[in-house]
Amino acid sequence: MENRRYVLDANVFLEYIFGRKLQDVAKRLISQAIVEKNEIIIPSLAIDEISEVLCGNMDDIDKGATHLRYLEKLIYEGVLKVVVPTTKVRVQAIRMARQGHRKGGFPEFTDCLYHSLALFNDATFITNDRTHMAKVKSFGNIKLLSEVTIDDE
């Protein structure tokens, strides 16, 4: 992939955690960040979103805690760069979230926050959310996880 800086949506991590069909692509993105072939930026809310999904969908709390500890390890090792979005990023996210129609719906603010973070960091927002992609692809810097190709350089 041409750009080696990514903002990963929480749903990318959930592909890996729940062993969904795109887990190999998600694993590869993370493993390449471990060997410093790419940079992963996430907004601070990403860990909370992942925790919320684990809370509602994982019966084994200890297993959920193991996943969260692994994410913390990646953060402390500098593999994942956690960013508190600035006002500039938040205002752009608000603008993006207002791009929609009553009939077709509006993009979710939190998804726009990830996307805006990508725009301000010259990164590509990787998501598994086709609905968000359809509503805001005109802003650029976005790719569906299913369209990501990882090379072995």
Any residues with CB less than 8 A from the CB of 88 and at least 6 apart, and which?
120
Model confidence over 47-81: pLDDT tens digits?
999 999 988 877 788 888 898 999 999 999 999 99
pTM metric for this prediction? 0.89
pLDDT in tens, 82-136: 999 999 999 999 999 998 777 777 889 999 999 999 999 999 999 999 988 888 8
Q: Please name each of the domains of the chain with its CATH number.
A: 5-147 (3.40.50.1010)
Q: What is the pLDDT of residues 9-61, one digit of tens each?
A: 999 999 988 889 999 999 999 988 888 788 999 999 999 999 999 888 777 88
